[in-house]
């Protein structure tokens, strides 16, 4: 019986060592990289993406070391394509600067990346409708542009007779100079011209410059109603058309009478073909099975002798 136990234990240990060797070999053949995110506001967290490519990359044994900031958490690697797996590592820093993420496998550094944290703030945009309590409710839109003229954010706010001042906050933006301008439509202009219901009294041309150098900065607008402007508590949606996607409940095509058509096929990804087991895995299983056979043979011999 002792001989049987020794043979059985040896077979199990040998199979386990083969599996461990296979995992170590797979990790050594992986290509690991770190994708750095866009600069984030200091005091917030951001995510670096760890990407592993090779054979079964989602099983890679990786360790994360963070310097210059705080490691908030990490998401395990998940397959995103055949032979490719990704996972996010979340870091945080309270002051402007950089956080370095070092990826290690078996004590060796396999990849590294940085996340930059900068001084960010928000722009408070407000608009006051210079009208009486009977003015209609209305929404207004504003664009925020950087020095190159690129739109970095768009905000909307609402005013009405009983709430003449509306306020909206932009997204977190890096410190710097910005232009805030009101979007004018068919019924809104910089003066009460023909067909205009509202005019931007200030600032001139419906735009103003803002220097963002703290947690917040402000831009204020004043809007006056023209003759013929709506006077109702109902919400007045801007007349100018906003380009947008086709609603999901809108169906294109002609309607046909008769029995309804069967549902279309799904849009999910096709299932991946089953991958054959690795050679070392098959070898480990074969060794374990052989050990069981070897252990069972003396038992059969002992039973025959009895």
Question: Which residues in the chain are classed under CATH 2.60.40.10?
Answer: 2-118, 120-233
Q: Encode pLDDT of 38-71 as tens digits.
A: 999 999 999 999 999 999 999 999 999 999 999 9
**Pairwise pLDDT comparison (266 vs 137), residue with the higher score:** 137
pLDDT given for residue 1 in this prediction: 52
Q: Encode pLDDT of 155-168 as tens digits.
A: 999 998 889 999 99
Lowest-confidence segment of 33-37, 211-215, 250-254, 295-299 by average pLDDT: 250-254
pTM of the full structure: 0.58
> What number of H helices and E strands is found in the chain?
2, 20
DSSP SS3 for 232: coil
- The C-alpha atoms of residue 262 and residue 268 are separated, in whole angstroms, by 18
Q: Encode pLDDT of 189-247 as tens digits.
A: 999 887 788 999 999 999 999 999 999 999 999 999 988 766 654 545 554 445 555 55
Joined tokens for residue 131: 């009208």
Among 296, 295, 286, smallest CA distance to 18 is for 286
Q: Which CATH superfamily is domain 2-118 in?
A: Immunoglobulins (2.60.40.10)
Domain 120-233, CATH number (from 2.60.40.1180, 1.10.150.240, 2.60.40.10, 1.10.260.30): 2.60.40.10
- The C-alpha atoms of residue 107 and residue 120 are separated, in whole angstroms, by 37
pLDDT given for residue 124 in this prediction: 98
């Amino acid at each position: 019986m002792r001989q049987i136990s020794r043979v059985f234990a040896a077979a199990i240990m040998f199979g386990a060592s083969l599996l461990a060797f296979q995992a170590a070999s797979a990790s050594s053949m992986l290509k690991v990289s770190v994708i750095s995110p866009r600069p984030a506001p200091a005091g917030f967290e951001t995510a670096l993406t760890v990407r592993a490519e090779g054979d079964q990359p989602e099983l890679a044994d990786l360790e994360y070391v963070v310097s210059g900031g705080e490691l908030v958490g990490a998401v395990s690697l998940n397959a995103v394509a055949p032979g490719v797996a990704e996972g996010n590592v979340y870091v945080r820093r309270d002051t402007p600067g950089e956080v370095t993420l070092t990826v290690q496998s078996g004590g060796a550094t396999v990849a590294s990346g940085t996340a930059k944290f900068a001084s960010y703030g928000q722009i408070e945009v407000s608009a006051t409708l210079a009208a009486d309590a009977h003015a209609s409710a209305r929404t207004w839109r504003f664009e925020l542009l950087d020095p190159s003229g690129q739109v970095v954010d768009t905000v909307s706010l609402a005013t009405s007779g009983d709430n003449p001042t509306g306020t909206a906050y932009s997204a977190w933006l890096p410190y710097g100079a910005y232009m805030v301008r009101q979007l004018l439509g068919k019924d809104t202009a910089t003066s009460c011209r023909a067909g205009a219901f509202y005019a931007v009294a200030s600032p001139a041309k419906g735009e103003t410059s803002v220097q963002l150098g703290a947690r917040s900065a402000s831009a204020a607008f004043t809007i006056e109603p023209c003759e013929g402007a709506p006077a109702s508590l109902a919400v007045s949606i801007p007349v100018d058309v906003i380009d947008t996607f086709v609603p999901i409940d809108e169906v294109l095509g002609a309607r046909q009478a008769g029995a309804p058509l069967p549902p279309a096929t799904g849009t999910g990804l096709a299932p991946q073909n089953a991958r054959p087991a690795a050679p070392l895995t098959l070898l480990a299983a074969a060794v374990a099975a052989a050990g069981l056979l070897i252990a069972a043979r003396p038992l059969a011999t002992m039973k025959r002798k009895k």
